[in-house]
Amino acid sequence: MVQWNDLNQESKNRWETIAEFWDDYMGDESNRFHRELIKPYTEKLLQIEPSHEVLDIACGNGNFSRRLAELGAIVTAFDYSSKWNSSLLHSSSLFSNSQNEKDPRNGRPKWRNSNKK
């Protein structure tokens, strides 16, 4: 029987293999399904207001994380794939952590839209 650690590593290896493809496929605005169905209804469900804190687990390339920050949320986002985490940081240059805020639970930076106070 395959051990949990082996399955975990195999899963991570597969995600790392397709991360760049998936990032290109989703692009800066996500795909049509995500834009027209997932985003609007998730936004409606969450009812984000300025200064809400959001933890986006499995954020992929961060498209929706950035959208939440545009709505005023303070977002902590990460993904299983280290390639996506690197892409997330690179593509989130619009967002800042000017107050060097860190989530006290995990020490990760909190990001907010630099155009909003």
Model pTM score: 0.68
Digitized pLDDT (tens) for each residue of the chain, 117 residues in all: 569 888 888 988 888 888 888 888 888 788 899 999 999 999 999 999 988 888 888 888 888 888 888 888 888 888 877 766 665 655 555 555 545 566 666 565 555 544 444
CATH T-level topology, domain 4-113: Rossmann fold (3.40.50)
> Domain segments of the chain: what residues?
4-113
Which amino acid is located at 41 in the chain?
Y
Residues whose CB is less than 8 angstroms from the CB of residue 74 and which lie 6 or more positions away in sequence, other chains included: 51, 52, 53, 54, 101, 110, 111, 112
3-class SS of residue 113? strand
Helix spans in the chain (H) = 4-26, 32-33, 39-46, 63-70, 82-91
